[in-house]
Amino acid sequence: MIELNWGAVTDTGLVRRHNEDSLLAEPPVFAVADGMGGHAAGDVASAMTIDELRRLVGRDDLTRGDVETAVSAANSAVLASSLTTRSMRGMGTTLVGMVLVVDDGCRRWLAFNVGDSRLYRFAGGTLSQVSHDHSEVQEMLDEGAISEEEARVAANRNIVTKAIGTESGADADYFLLDALGGERFLICSDGLTNELEDDALAADLGAGEDASATARLLTEHALRAGGRDNVTVVVVDVVSNDSGGDGKPSESEAAGVD
């Protein structure tokens, strides 16, 4: 059995008038979508995407195929609305998250992302980014054309190269991760990461607060740093994994012992 604790916060921020972010934090699904296309459409795109993932909530038999189908369905739904409704034309959304799936008989996290919202793993006091940004700035970083410092202030830092609701939007990255007890995950929109650098994220994640308090703390610090965009934060703690840490059934579970 995998025991989880989680907390989630979304805030409009101090500059924007509308919140175009949506989130889902209901086991076994945790996700954040950051809408694009203006307040008349961005919030619709992110909500539609989260609604497709919500169909997976409450299930303990999910597979990678189920998640891929939900992401594809979200892309199709957003794209169809964008093409048929004038006020929604050109809308889209980022998507990042993770779902507990059954993989080769084990319960593991299937992480996924489209766009520049991010998933981080925090374990042993070390923060690591699991997702890989789909953005013009990330491509320049990968090519060595700019430095990390230059990337943080680049004029095109918010231009994504993939999004849900475009022709290639369902081409998500997927990562399988073991569900290890004691690990913490951060899922967030760029309203957080554009305000706080990794060392600040790590400090808040390691401050000893529970998941809900940590989500609030990260959001408060992003607002204090400027709050120039919508801020959405989901923190997930793997409290324990009685399956032995790798998702495989323990001897008692395999034998059907309560």
Peptide bond preceding 28 in cis form (omega within 30 of 0)? yes
Residue 258: the pLDDT is 25
Write phi, then psi, for 49 (nearest 5 degrees): -65, -45
Residue 168: the pLDDT is 62
List, in sequence order, every residue forming a beta bridge with 234; answer none if it has no partner: 8, 187
Residue 127: the pLDDT is 98
What pLDDT digit, counting tens, does each position of 155-178 carry?
677 789 999 998 766 689 999 999
The stretch 199-210 carries a mean pLDDT of 98
Characterize the bridge pairing of strands 2-11 and 231-241. antiparallel
What pLDDT digit, counting tens, does each position of 103-118 carry?
999 999 999 999 999 9
List, in sequence order, every residue forming a beta bridge with 235; answer none if it has no partner: 7, 186
Instruction: Find the range with the poorest average confidence among 35-49, 109-123, 139-153.
Output: 139-153
Residue, of 126 and 250, whose pLDDT is higher: 126
**Over 50: is that where the pLDDT of 219 sits?**
yes
Residue 38: the pLDDT is 63
> Chain-wide mean pLDDT for the chain?
90
CB 35 within 8 A of CB 91: yes
The stretch 61-87 carries a mean pLDDT of 94
User: Measured between alpha carbons, how far is 53 from 61 in angstroms, rounded to an integer?
Assistant: 15
**Band of residue 190 on the pLDDT scale cut at 50, 70, 90:** very high
Residue 138: the pLDDT is 80
Buried b (16+ CB within 10 A) or exposed e, 130-165: bbebbbbbbebbeeeeeeeeebeebeebeebbbbbb
Domain 2-243 - what CATH class? alpha beta
Residue 39: the pLDDT is 54
Where on the phi/psi map is residue 115: left (φ > 0), alpha (ψ -120 to 50), or beta? left
**Band of residue 150 on the pLDDT scale cut at 50, 70, 90:** confident
The stretch 72-85 carries a mean pLDDT of 93
Domain extents for the chain? 2-243
The CB density around residue 201, as the number of other CB atoms within 10 Å, is: 23
**Band of residue 248 on the pLDDT scale cut at 50, 70, 90:** very low
- The contacts of residue 172 (CB under 8 Å, 6+ apart) are 68, 71, 95, 112, 113, 114, 162
The stretch 133-144 carries a mean pLDDT of 84
